[in-house]
Amino acid sequence: MTESKLLQLDRSQRNRPTQVRLKIRIPKNYHQEPVIYKLASYYNLEINLFAAILGKSGQEDGWFDLLLKGNSQQIDSALIYLLSFRTRYRNLVRTRY
């Protein structure tokens, strides 16, 4: 599968306002990584958190249900960042707003 199909990258209009709803899994060895903070500050995204599941002992993977808002380029960069440390995501839905 090509990178663009895996990530569902948007090559049409890079500055088009976009939002993506996704569920991500953060592996337990990345619990100390400020993932949500980096999505907001490094990629200049607005983030709405719908749900989160974290093991209280930190021995399990964590799950987040997020809505990311930004332009297409910011969203694509953030998705690439998430994959860079083996984060898995599902239910990716991209819409314009």
pLDDT in tens, 42-97: 999 999 999 998 877 767 888 899 999 999 899 989 988 988 877 776 666 777 76
- Residue 7 within any structural domain of the chain: no
pTM comes to 0.77
The structure tokens 């949500």 sit at 36
**4, pLDDT greater than 50:** no
β-sheet bridge partners, residue 67: 21, 48
- Residue 83 within any structural domain of the chain: yes
Please tell me the distance from the alpha carbon of residue 55 to that of residue 49, in angstroms, as a whole number. Answer: 17
Q: What distance separates the 2 farthest-apart alpha carbons in the chain? A: 44
Q: Please count the structural domains in the chain.
A: 1
**Per-residue model confidence (pLDDT) at position 9:** 56
- Residue 11 within any structural domain of the chain: no
Parent domain of 63: 20-96
- Residue 82 within any structural domain of the chain: yes
- CATH code of the domain covering residue 84: 3.30.70.260
**Tokens describing residue 21:** 């709803």
Q: How confident is the model at residue 40 (pLDDT cuts 50, 70, 90)?
A: very high
- Residue 9 within any structural domain of the chain: no
**Per-residue model confidence (pLDDT) at position 11:** 59
- Residue 4 within any structural domain of the chain: no
